[in-house]
Structure 1
Amino acid sequence: MKSKISNRWQALAVSSILLITACNKAPTPYVWSLPYNIPPPIEQPDNPMTNESVALGKALFFDTALSADNSMSCSSCHIPEFAFSEPQKVSVGVSGEPLSRNALALVNVAYNASFTWAHNNLESIEKQILIPLFNEHPIEMGVTGNEETILARLNTTYYRQSVKAAYGDDAITMDRVVKSLANYVRSLVSFQSPFDKYAYEGDDNALSAQQIQGLNLFFSERTECFHCHGGINFTQSSMHSANGFVAQPFHNTGLYNVDGKGSYPDSDMGLYSVTFDVKDMGKFRAPTLRNIALTAPYMHDGSINTLHEVIDFYARGGNHANVANPYRSPFIKRFVLSDEEKKALVAFLESLTDPSFIDKHKN
């Protein structure tokens, strides 16, 4: 069965690979396109970033051949126009079964110190990618048990040439599929928002007065936003070549309290489902806020629809704020904002949108 070309991304990526192959026999080291004051991410020693592996990963990312029934690609749930997220509460796998979580935006994933919404033992993109590909409960891409069929679909001139350019021979393996996908996702960096121009390039006119008001609120002890969404990637859970330690914080925001004692629904108890440590009940990773205006709905289950509603949620101290919750983060506390201040805070969050990132990657 021939692979479907979901859109023109694959054809463009393969053309680039063929051109590179004609000019260079050895893979070309990838050059990060970053502002001078943004440190590069940490690369994996056993999976060096090359132009060829990134181009191969890009072709695979948009190819439905990677799913069990050839019906969906990685891009089905991670859509470029939405900063590689999806405007649905939760995604749906190839079997039609709804997943339990909202699709995270793939923005600056190369800087993540942890992956997925709540897992403390996934230290690389390569390991994370195994979950959507091979997970069985629930089924996402449905690769498990269909490996030979999927590899046979990829056994085309396009992919043989692509794999040879990236890895030196044309053997198409799942290991190479995973590694090239990881490198493409790793290449999705976004640091050209109006905020970046204001903060890192010294352009005082990049933000409006309203957005600057929102910036000051965001970085104030009054709202506490920056405690969980700090650093160059607006998340504590980050690492890069210039920092000396790796932070993997997870937080219970008080989104649920089903038993009056702080418990989350059995369907998703956050980090507790991985560690089985009661202290981790309802804890999730704070995602990056870069391009956040494009990635609604919000929270791990897509239960909050707009940024205004997100601010209201935190302003009231989470849901069920009047009920004791031993697991709720101490950073989640009530605060009062005027309507003008709420609009300013939303305007600041909108200033984290990077139009060049979207234009570069959209179909």
Structure 2
Amino acid sequence: MAVPLRSVTVAAVVAAGAWLLLSGSSADAFRWNLPAWVPPPVVPADNPMSVAKVELGRHLFHDPRLSADSRMSCASCHHQDKAFTDGRAVAEGITGEKGARSAMGLANVAYLPTLTWANPLLKSLEVQALIPIFGEHPVEMGMAGREAELFARLRSDATYRRLFAQAFPPEARLGEAALYSLSTVTKAIAAFERSLLSFNSPYDRYKYGGEPQAISAAAKRGEALFFGEKMECYHCHGGFTFNDNVTHSRLPFPEFGYHNTGLYNVDGQGSYPADNPGIGEFTGDASDRGRFRTASLRNVAVTAPYMHDGSIATLQDVIRQHYAQAGRSTSATGQPSPMRSELLVGFEVSDDEVNDLVAFLSALTGPDFLPDPRLGNPWPSR
């Protein structure tokens, strides 16, 4: 899902925790059941949340019939037990073609002002949903030019006939002419993705819930390291989402964070591999070489491998071999990137400190988020 926006065909575009209450009739009002310390997400005016729309989106998200060969769903690259990423270094489509970047986890995606590793222009979940379904560079789900076939598949299924009618009744279509369209499909998927909320980790219960024993002594020592001046993790991974890219209903303006962490230095001058140049590909600014969006650290213990290209296998290696070294050198000079963020200065770290920091990061995993059946596959045979 990290494919640049321009990979979607023009025809396709033109043709187009905290837990959600999913029980009851389609008329039930949608409610965010958020703790007081978490603000509600921003929801587009033309795609209001509803219980029925989220349930339709859940079915679409997990349905392989949205791919050309009916083998790949959105969930193929976004597994619930991995916080909605896939455990691969880079995503792979139905043809076996690999993308350049790792599939991002979708927990709390409703709070992101931009949605991919390196495209600062892609800000809408509704638009983003088009990319894996119809994108061609690389091919993911392979439905480019097959919109009519997709709608025929949906119409032929009795479950979808009921769900689409409930999610988009005539009085709530907001100008939608067709019940089955790229607009209704992507709005439903986006609504489901906004419901993927994870704010009930052991650390949350310790920090906000008055449960001092919710995390271990090691995790408490790791918390001190995380928020301390030695490692300075909190500068880019602060706030309730544990990153520096955030938008929500109480924030007047979105906050954006893109950083060059010195992961590559292929020419000794800070360059990254040609297939992963960072946001400079879109801005045209040489100073943006190697800058990628900060990832959230919520559920990070289950989202390996790490970094935008999945090039680091474990959290221990992320700490020891990357951040402690002020960036990883891949140049002939053996020097860290001169383009890396000024926040990366390196640090000495012991094995005990690494273990403590990993214990803290592990305490950010939402244990009830990963197995919640309300977010899982509703198709028993698919």
Q: TM-score, normalised by structure 2?
A: 0.86
- State yes or no: 1:159 paired with 2:160: yes
Give the counterpart letter for 1:20 in structure 2.
S
**Contact 2:327 / 2:337 at 8 angstroms: preserved in 1?**
no
Q: CA RMSD in A?
A: 1.6
Deviation, structure 1 residue 255: 0.6
Deviation, structure 1 residue 293: 0.3
Aligned to 1:197: 205
Paired with 2:29 and 2:138, the residues of 1 have a C-alpha distance of 37
Aligned to 1:314: 323
**Contact 1:54 / 1:180 at 8 angstroms: preserved in 2?**
yes
- State yes or no: 1:352 paired with 2:359: no
**Contact 1:289 / 1:352 at 8 angstroms: preserved in 2?**
yes
Paired with 1:330 and 1:143, the residues of 2 have a C-alpha distance of 43
Structure 2 counterpart of 1:279, from 275, 284, 287: 287
Deviation, structure 1 residue 325: 3.1
- State yes or no: 1:136 paired with 2:144: no
Aligned to 1:172: 180
Give the counterpart letter for 1:158 in structure 2.
T
Aligned to 2:275: 267
| Identical pairs, percent | 46
Show the 5 A alignment for 1:81-100: 81-100=81-100
Deviation, structure 1 residue 189: 0.2
**Contact 1:251 / 1:286 at 8 angstroms: preserved in 2?**
yes
Moved more, 150-159 or 252-261: 150-159
Show the 5 A alignment for 1:92-241: 92-155=92-155, 156-169=157-170, 171-241=179-249
> How many residues in Structure 1 have an aligned counterpart in Structure 2?
342
Aligned to 2:306: 298
Deviation, structure 1 residue 244: 2.6
Show the 5 A alignment for 1:32-47: 32-47=32-47
Aligned to 1:334: 346
Give the counterpart letter for 2:311 in structure 1.
S
* Bigger fraction of residues in helix: 1
Paired with 1:362 and 1:342, the residues of 2 have a C-alpha distance of 34
Paired with 2:87 and 2:81, the residues of 1 have a C-alpha distance of 10
Paired with 2:362 and 2:346, the residues of 1 have a C-alpha distance of 23
Paired with 1:281 and 1:247, the residues of 2 have a C-alpha distance of 20
Aligned to 1:7: none
**Contact 1:315 / 1:336 at 8 angstroms: preserved in 2?**
yes
Paired with 1:91 and 1:122, the residues of 2 have a C-alpha distance of 18
Paired with 2:337 and 2:323, the residues of 1 have a C-alpha distance of 15
- State yes or no: 1:288 paired with 2:288: no
Paired with 2:115 and 2:153, the residues of 1 have a C-alpha distance of 29
Moved more, 147-156 or 345-354: 147-156
Paired with 1:341 and 1:225, the residues of 2 have a C-alpha distance of 14
Q: Deviations over 1:163-215 (max 9, x none)?
A: 11011158211110000000000000000001100111121111111101000
Deviation, structure 1 residue 103: 0.8
Q: TM-score, normalised by structure 1?
A: 0.91
Deviation, structure 1 residue 327: 1.9
Aligned to 1:8: none
Aligned to 1:4: none
**Contact 2:326 / 2:336 at 8 angstroms: preserved in 1?**
no
Q: Deviations over 1:127-176 (max 9, x none)?
A: 22222122111111122111111111111221121111011158211110
Paired with 1:58 and 1:324, the residues of 2 have a C-alpha distance of 44
Paired with 1:56 and 1:337, the residues of 2 have a C-alpha distance of 48
Deviation, structure 1 residue 349: 0.2
Paired with 2:376 and 2:227, the residues of 1 have a C-alpha distance of 32
Aligned to 1:355, the other structure's residue is in SS state coil
Paired with 1:95 and 1:58, the residues of 2 have a C-alpha distance of 25
**Contact 1:93 / 1:140 at 8 angstroms: preserved in 2?**
yes
Deviation, structure 1 residue 333: 1.4
- State yes or no: 1:256 paired with 2:261: no
Deviation, structure 1 residue 324: 5.9
Paired with 1:60 and 1:94, the residues of 2 have a C-alpha distance of 17
Show the 5 A alignment for 1:20-99: 20-21=25-26, 24=27, 28-99=28-99
**Contact 2:82 / 2:302 at 8 angstroms: preserved in 1?**
yes
Paired with 1:200 and 1:267, the residues of 2 have a C-alpha distance of 42
Q: Deviations over 1:40-66 (max 9, x none)?
A: 111111100000100000000010111
Q: Deviations over 1:311-336 (max 9, x none)?
A: 01100111129626342111111101
**Contact 1:261 / 1:324 at 8 angstroms: preserved in 2?**
no
Give the counterpart letter for 1:318 in structure 2.
G
Aligned to 1:6: none
Question: After TM superposition, which residue ranges in structure 1, 4 or more long, deviate above 4 angstroms?
Answer: none
Paired with 2:290 and 2:29, the residues of 1 have a C-alpha distance of 41
Paired with 1:120 and 1:151, the residues of 2 have a C-alpha distance of 31
**Contact 1:219 / 1:225 at 8 angstroms: preserved in 2?**
yes
Paired with 2:249 and 2:260, the residues of 1 have a C-alpha distance of 29
Per the alignment, do residues 277 and 222 of structure 1 end up closer, same or farther by CA in structure 2, a change over 3 Å counting?
Answer: same
Paired with 1:107 and 1:100, the residues of 2 have a C-alpha distance of 21
Paired with 1:111 and 1:104, the residues of 2 have a C-alpha distance of 14
Give the counterpart letter for 1:77 in structure 2.
C
